[in-house]
Amino acid sequence: LLALAGFAPSFDSLRFLAVGAAGLLLGVIIAHVANVLRSPWFVLVLLTIVAFFLFGGVLTLTRETLFGIPTPHSLKALLDVTVAGWKELLTTLPPVPGDGQLLVLPYLLGLLAGVLAFALARRVRRPFPPVMVMALLLATVISLGTLQPASSLLGLAVAIIGALWAAVRHRRLLQVVGTGTSRRSQGMLTAGLIAVAVAGGYTLGGHLPGVDTGRRQVLRTYVEPPFDVTQFPSPLVGFRKYTRDVKLLWDQRLFTVAGAKAGQRVRIAVLDDYSGTVWGASPPSTGDHSGFRRVGRTVGSVPQADGEHATVEITIAPAYAGLADASLWVPGVGYAEELTFAGPRAAELAEAVRYDTTTGQAVLSRRLQAGDGVRSVDVTLREVPKDFEPSGDLTLSADAVAFVAASAARLGEKRPQAWEQVQAVASALRARGAYSDGTKSGERHYLPGHSVSRIGAFLKSDQPVGNDEQYASAFALMATSLGVPSRVVLGGITAEDGSVSGSGVRAWVEVHGANGGWYTVPETTFMPDRTK
């Protein structure tokens, strides 16, 4: 039970421990029955398999059973989780739901540990094999666990109890031949050895290989998330369809936000990677980027934002559901602490959601439909303050922003500080530029997109002309070139009734501050008025 308790940071409730204890007790009973009947090992294996499927449904998958009786659906679910649940646990942001299918895993581990340890304790005279089973269980739980341990004392407690158990068992064996050694002296010797081991571990543990990495090594560190958002088109490319002159989605409602005030910024897609062709989300293998991983209802702490808490419910409208480039992206007002879904597809969407803790963005492996609801408790992002100080690793490489370096240096006016240069760039774009969707009658036709060629031509012009797509892209690229970590956000601004229509869609920029938080730079900071 101490070893199974290492799963505490992985689940959002302690039900996993009760399920694991039930599996452990069941395993002991099975091993005892097999021992009494003097059954061979292969019979013990068969009994364990039968017990796993017979009781697994009622203990872990209550919704799939029929009044506690196994059904074909529950048996298939048990088999599926046994095979694929390990990877799902490792690719899900902890804590996972404490009432979900992944409860099968602690149940299975408890069952196997109970069967194997008790069978060895009764069938093998040596005292150490049963203890090694528990050590293996602890190592398995640690490997499947999180970067943050449940308690640094769990391993010590398991070691002490295992050593005491082995000492008592060894004493019984020695009494058969008669050693003449008293129980008191043996107990004192055992206690002394444990004390020496604890003191040695405490003294030498910090000097062992791997300690200087500063990061706990668990399996989830090496398991790549199965969801790659880069295979889908960037929603920023289709910005023009929201504009007035194109007349596709300008007057159509995309979604409604309950719990948000008028003028609230709702992030549709956070784009932190630039390929030279489009802004998109970073692939999961980029540096320390967390990637899009499975997530339960509780997302966890939010170190990247220090704004206000907001509880909102977003209802998807048909116009948003019909967007091939956006309907996979889950709108939100900030970094989620809790994320659930409403509507008839709530359970289906909960299984399909993936969340990136680096950007605070959620996506789905299947598209949102009209009537779907998204409920979240978010920490909103504040607008960049007057005393803002940038800091942090750049999200883009120097090669990616090299083509804007000359323009950034020229517009930055060689100010002494990086943020002062970025502010000068924003002022220059706003003052010199003009706004156009590129299709208005009587104007030149300006191309959409934000590739190297489009942004390069945009910045080389005496009067830069474009819409939110070009201005946000150019500003974020030049800010990065000047040393300020930046990313582009496609989002919407709520109306009085809480709705977001095509007319409210904007593209703005977020920058990273010295306190570890991300801040919003409104599009009005670096873009001219739309009437210019």
Q: What does the block give as tokens for 32?
A: 């005892």
Q: Which residues on neighbouring strands pair with residue 265, listed in sequence order?
A: 493
Structural element, H or E, at residue 11:
none
Q: Contact at 8 Å (CB) between 122 and 44?
A: no
> CA–CA separation, 106 vs 282, rounded Å?
33
Pinpoint the alpha helices (H) of 416-451: 418-432
**Cα separation, 26 vs 199, whole angstroms:** 37
Strand, helix or coil for residue 33: helix
User: At which residue do the structure tokens 């000047």 appear?
Assistant: 482
Alpha-carbon gap, residue 240 to 242, rounded angstroms: 5
Q: By three-state DSSP, how is residue 380 classified?
A: strand
Token reading at 484: 């300020």
Per-residue pLDDT of the chain (532 residues; tens, 9 = 90+): 999 999 998 898 899 999 999 999 999 999 999 999 999 999 999 999 999 999 998 888 877 776 778 888 889 989 999 998 998 888 887 888 888 889 999 999 999 999 999 999 999 888 889 999 999 999 999 999 887 777 777 888 888 888 888 888 877 776 545 555 566 776 677 778 777 877 777 777 667 666 655 566 788 777 766 678 888 899 999 999 999 888 899 999 999 999 988 999 999 999 999 999 999 998 766 555 567 888 888 886 666 667 788 999 999 999 999 999 999 999 999 999 999 999 999 989 998 999 988 899 999 989 999 999 999 999 999 999 999 999 888 889 999 999 999 999 999 988 899 999 999 999 999 999 999 987 776 667 788 899 999 999 999 999 999 999 999 999 999 999 999 999 999 999 999 999 999 999 999 999 999 988 899 999 999 999 999 9
